């Protein structure tokens, strides 16, 4: 190699250790035109995230398909809007216990799509028709203008904590008059311009985002000042929102990314799936049937709410418990997508359970089965793919993938060679073919994992006064295998990782999932969604999920 070529390589940064993905680019670059850079040779194009048909489960899928049949509405966006509406309508009587927390089926969904292509208005039209049809039938049967069968409904315009509390308030004084409390705390909010909420959140002193965090958690919404006595106890609020990608990236600041506001949203990418020059309304008979089925689900799930709350707990079947435990210890807790994306995915586990609750309720059952877990998993996987697509670029995904691969190689190397220093990892484990930045990212991820996979220890001080650092493998099973019951009676024998592996490798073990676990998406999608009513299930103290979410 000539001096001129070596100098050009140095200026382009090609003299540094490179990953395999850049070694090929370097070889091409040597024969490329003089003004070509390494960046020119890297293909950063990506496909938009593709949803799984398994997301269109039962009644939820039927609503999405019905809307898309005659319009340009995206089936999955319609299904997401319907899930959010339904999560508000079912109320706070049914729940799933997670540790000491009762999770109700509340969902915040956020559709992201470009202006004109997202068809965000179309996505909500049929859901609104179904809701309106339900209320009309409810009033006809009651013979009067009755309280809403589906709970409250609000179209956009959220601006303050007090304004949100006012929609489901506990009563307040207006001059000398006492305004009675709204007892039914169910509220479905449609915010077609979610940029408005993000604008409000950026204003000094505005606490709307904090109020929405409380609403997702089901915590009472109370004012930030003692003088404002407008409260909303035990809220049951669901939110359907939409935004363009540019607005989301420009307005979502680091505070929303880090304080838990953004990761309470099921974010998904959705634009029109086809072009329909002459869209038609969904046939009245189809809407009428969807109204009937949806009313049946709400009546079953709502029970006697608001007179009763938290009286019925959903349970996971034995197979569903084992499958959820496998997912929780695997992809639901994975941190392989970089710091920003990982922060946005922190609540995948409770989201999956809430979705599985809704799918079980649409089947009119109080037991969550494996196929409900799988339908919910398809949504959380699409959520992950969408977040990566929106908030990361191809280069960032490639870097995260390299760091994740490096972390795996570090674990394998430490398992074979014992404690090792950073320099030896770089030179011996990776033969110098890894950027130091990627090595440090991999080490950080292993050190900061929960529980940590490795630990850093300091050696004896050297002659020059420095303390060498070494890394050694921790056995995560020793940290995870604490003598704590999972709370699932059928899975108490697999409360630790080692036993779980044994169960998974031995189909004859108690608690091993049945063939339902490998059920295909198509089978799940085509499953009948209107079985007969089961016997009522009351909350039982031994059905507590022993996993902190």
Q: What is the pLDDT of residue 536?
A: 39
Tell me how far CA of residue 311 lies from CA of 104, 187, 306, 314, 536, in angstroms. Answer: 12, 20, 11, 10, 10
Extract the tokens encoding 504.
């998974």
34 lies in which domain range?
1-42
Assigned domain for 259 exists = yes
Q: What is the pLDDT of residue 146?
A: 66
Contacts of 177 by beta carbon, 8 Å cutoff, 6+ apart: none
Q: What is the pLDDT of residue 27?
A: 43
* Contact in structure between 309 and 504 (CB atoms under 8 Å): no
Residues 462, 503 within the same domain? no
Closest CA to 260 of 192, 221, 328, 213: 213
Closest CA to 486 of 226, 97, 158: 97
Residues 304, 213 within the same domain? yes
SS3 181: coil
CB neighbours of residue 287 within 10 Å: 18
Is the bond into 451 cis (omega within 30 degrees of 0)?
yes
Burial class (CB in 10 A: 0-12, 13-18, 19+), 193: middle
Assigned domain for 533 exists = no
Q: Who wins on pLDDT, 62 or 114? A: 62
Q: How confident is the model over 372-412, as pLDDT tens digits?
A: 999 999 999 999 999 999 988 656 666 667 777 888 888 88
Q: How confident is the model over 138-191, as pLDDT tens digits?
A: 998 877 666 899 999 999 788 889 999 999 999 998 888 899 999 999 999 999
Domain boundary among 392, 417, 440: 392
Contacts of 118 by beta carbon, 8 Å cutoff, 6+ apart: 74, 77, 111, 112, 242, 244, 270, 271, 272
Contacts of 58 by beta carbon, 8 Å cutoff, 6+ apart: 359, 362, 363, 375, 527, 528, 529
Assigned domain for 534 exists = no
Residues 126, 242 within the same domain? yes
∠ CA 233-111-120, nearest 5°, is 105
Residues 342, 465 within the same domain? no
Q: What average pLDDT does the segment 99-112 reach? A: 95
What does the radius of gyration of the chain's CA atoms come to, in whole angstroms? 27
Q: Indicate whether 524 pLDDT > 50.
A: no
Percentage with pLDDT > 70 across the chain: 74
> What total number of domains does the chain contain?
4
- For 251, the enclosing helix (H) or strand (E) is helix 245-251
Q: What is the pLDDT of residue 38?
A: 53
How far apart are alpha carbons 480 and 494 in whole angstroms?
Answer: 12
Q: What is the pLDDT of residue 474?
A: 85
Res. 75 pLDDT band, cuts 50 70 90: very high
Q: What is the pLDDT of residue 497?
A: 34
Q: What is the pLDDT of residue 106?
A: 97
Extract the tokens encoding 153.
């409904």
How far apart are alpha carbons 350 and 540 in whole angstroms?
Answer: 20
Q: Who wins on pLDDT, 216 or 252? A: 216
- The enclosing domain of 458 has a CATH number of 1.10.10.10
Assigned domain for 67 exists = yes
Q: How confident is the model over 274-307, as pLDDT tens digits?
A: 898 999 999 999 999 999 999 999 999 999 999 9
Residues 156, 206 within the same domain? yes
Assigned domain for 33 exists = yes
Q: Give the range with max mean pLDDT: 36-45, 96-105, 390-399, 528-537.
A: 96-105
* Contact in structure between 67 and 216 (CB atoms under 8 Å): no
Percentage with pLDDT > 90 across the chain: 47
Domain boundary among 333, 366, 392: 392
Domain boundary among 372, 392, 412: 392
Mean pLDDT of the chain: 80
Q: Indicate whether 523 pLDDT > 60.
A: no
Q: What is the pLDDT of residue 368?
A: 98
Say if strands 101-103 and 94-98 run parallel, antiparallel, or are unpaired.
antiparallel
Q: What is the pLDDT of residue 225?
A: 59
Burial class (CB in 10 A: 0-12, 13-18, 19+), 267: buried
Q: Indicate whether 1 pLDDT > 90.
A: no
Q: What is the pLDDT of residue 317?
A: 98
Residues 112, 252 within the same domain? yes
Assigned domain for 48 exists = no
Q: Who wins on pLDDT, 68 or 227? A: 68
Q: What is the pLDDT of residue 477?
A: 46
Contacts of 209 by beta carbon, 8 Å cutoff, 6+ apart: 197, 201, 256, 259, 261
Say if strands 315-316 and 420-421 run parallel, antiparallel, or are unpaired.
unpaired
Q: What is the pLDDT of residue 171?
A: 93
Residues 473, 486 within the same domain? no
Q: What is the pLDDT of residue 522?
A: 41
Contacts of 325 by beta carbon, 8 Å cutoff, 6+ apart: 486, 491, 494, 500, 547
Q: What is the pLDDT of residue 35?
A: 58
* Contact in structure between 306 and 91 (CB atoms under 8 Å): yes
Q: Give the range with max mean pLDDT: 172-181, 278-287, 509-518, 537-546.
A: 278-287
Residues 25, 146 within the same domain? no
Res. 484 pLDDT band, cuts 50 70 90: very low
Res. 313 pLDDT band, cuts 50 70 90: very high
Residues 490, 464 within the same domain? no
How far apart are alpha carbons 460 and 446 in whole angstroms?
Answer: 23
Say if strands 172-174 and 265-269 run parallel, antiparallel, or are unpaired.
unpaired
Q: Is 2 left (phi over 0), alpha (psi -120 to 50) or beta?
A: beta
Residue by residue, DSSP assigns 382-422 as: HHHHHHHHHH--HHHHHHHHHHHHHHHHHHHHHHHH-SEEH
Residues 387, 448 within the same domain? no
In the block, which residue shows the tokens 């009513």?
533
Tell me how far CA of residue 59 lies from CA of 105, 124, 142, 250, in angstroms. Answer: 16, 16, 26, 36
Extract the tokens encoding 297.
């689900």
Residues 372, 447 within the same domain? no
Residues 312, 409 within the same domain? no
Res. 486 pLDDT band, cuts 50 70 90: very low
Q: Indicate whether 502 pLDDT > 60.
A: no
∠ CA 448-101-378, nearest 5°, is 65
Assigned domain for 310 exists = yes
Res. 493 pLDDT band, cuts 50 70 90: very low
What's the count of helices (H) and strands (E) in the chain, helices before strands?
21, 15
Res. 4 pLDDT band, cuts 50 70 90: low
Q: How confident is the model over 409-467, as pLDDT tens digits?
A: 888 889 998 989 898 898 889 888 888 888 888 888 788 776 788 898 888 887 787 88
Maximum separation of any 2 CA atoms in the chain, in Å: 92
Residue by residue, DSSP assigns 286-316 as: HHHHHHHHHHHHHHHHHTTTTT--S-EE-EE
Assigned domain for 191 exists = yes
3-state secondary structure 339-351: HHHHHHCCCHHHH
Q: What is the pLDDT of residue 22?
A: 47
How far apart are alpha carbons 534 and 360 in whole angstroms?
Answer: 12
Q: Indicate whether 199 pLDDT > 90.
A: no
């Amino acid at each position: 190699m000539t001096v001129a070529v070596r100098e050009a390589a140095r200026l382009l940064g090609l003299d540094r250790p490179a990953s395999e993905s850049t070694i090929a680019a370097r070889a091409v670059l040597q024969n490329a035109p003089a003004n070509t850079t390494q960046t020119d040779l890297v293909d950063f194009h990506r496909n938009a995230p593709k949803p799984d048909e398994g997301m269109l489960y039962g009644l939820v899928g039927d609503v999405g398909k019905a809307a898309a049949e005659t319009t340009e509405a995206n089936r999955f966006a319609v299904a997401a809007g319907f899930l959010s509406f339904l999560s508000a309508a079912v109320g706070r009587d049914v729940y799933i216990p997670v540790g000491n927390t009762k999770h109700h089926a509340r969902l915040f969904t956020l559709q992201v799509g470009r202006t004109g292509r997202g068809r965000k208005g179309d996505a909500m039209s049929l859901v609104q028709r179904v809701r309106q049809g339900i209320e009309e039938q409810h009033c006809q049967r009651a013979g009067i203008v009755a309280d809403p069968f589906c709970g409250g409904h609000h179209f956009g315009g959220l601006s303050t904590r007090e304004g949100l509390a006012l929609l489901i308030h506990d009563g307040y004084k207006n001059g000398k008059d006492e305004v009675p409390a709204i007892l039914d705390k169910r509220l479905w909010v449609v915010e077609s311009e979610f940029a408005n909420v993000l604008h409000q959140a950026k204003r000094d002193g505005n606490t709307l985002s904090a109020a929405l965090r409380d609403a997702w958690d089901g915590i009472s919404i109370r004012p930030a000042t003692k003088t404002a006595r407008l409260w909303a106890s035990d809220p049951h609020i669901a939110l359907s929102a939409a935004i363009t990608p540019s607005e989301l990236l420009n307005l979502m600041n680091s505070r929303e990314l880090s304080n838990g506001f953004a990761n309470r949203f099921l974010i998904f990418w959705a634009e029109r799936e086809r072009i329909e020059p002459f869209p038609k309304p969904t046939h009245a008979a189809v809407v009428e049937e969807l109204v009937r089925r949806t009313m049946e689900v709400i009546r079953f799930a709502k029970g006697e709410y608001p007179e009763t709350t938290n009286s019925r707990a959903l349970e996971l079947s034995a197979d569903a418990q084992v499958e959820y435990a496998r997912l929780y210890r695997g992809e639901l807790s994975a941190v392989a997508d970089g710091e920003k994306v990982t922060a946005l995915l922190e609540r995948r586990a409770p989201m999956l359970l809430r979705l599985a609750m809704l799918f079980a309720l649409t089947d009119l059952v109080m037991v969550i089965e494996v196929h409900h877990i799988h339908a919910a998993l398809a949504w959380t996987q699409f959520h992950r793919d969408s977040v990566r697509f929106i908030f990361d670029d191809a280069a960032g995904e490639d870097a995260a993938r390299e760091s994740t691969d490096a972390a795996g190689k570090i674990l394998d190397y430490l398992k074979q060679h014992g404690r090792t220093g950073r320099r030896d990892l770089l030179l011996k484990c990776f033969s110098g073919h890894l950027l130091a930045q990627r090595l440090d990212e991999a080490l950080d991820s292993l050190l900061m994992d929960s529980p940590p996979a490795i630990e850093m220890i300091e050696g004896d001080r050297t002659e020059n006064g420095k303390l060498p650092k070494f890394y050694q493998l921790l056995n995560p099973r020793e940290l995870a295998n604490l003598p704590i019951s999972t709370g699932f009676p059928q899975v108490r024998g697999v409360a630790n990782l080692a036993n779980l592996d044994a169960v998974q490798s031995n189909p004859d073990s108690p608690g091993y999932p049945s063939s339902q676990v490998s059920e295909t998406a198509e089978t799940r999608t085509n499953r009948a969604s209107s079985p007969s009513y089961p016997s009522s299930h009351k909350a039982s103290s031994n059905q507590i999920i022993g996993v902190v979410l």
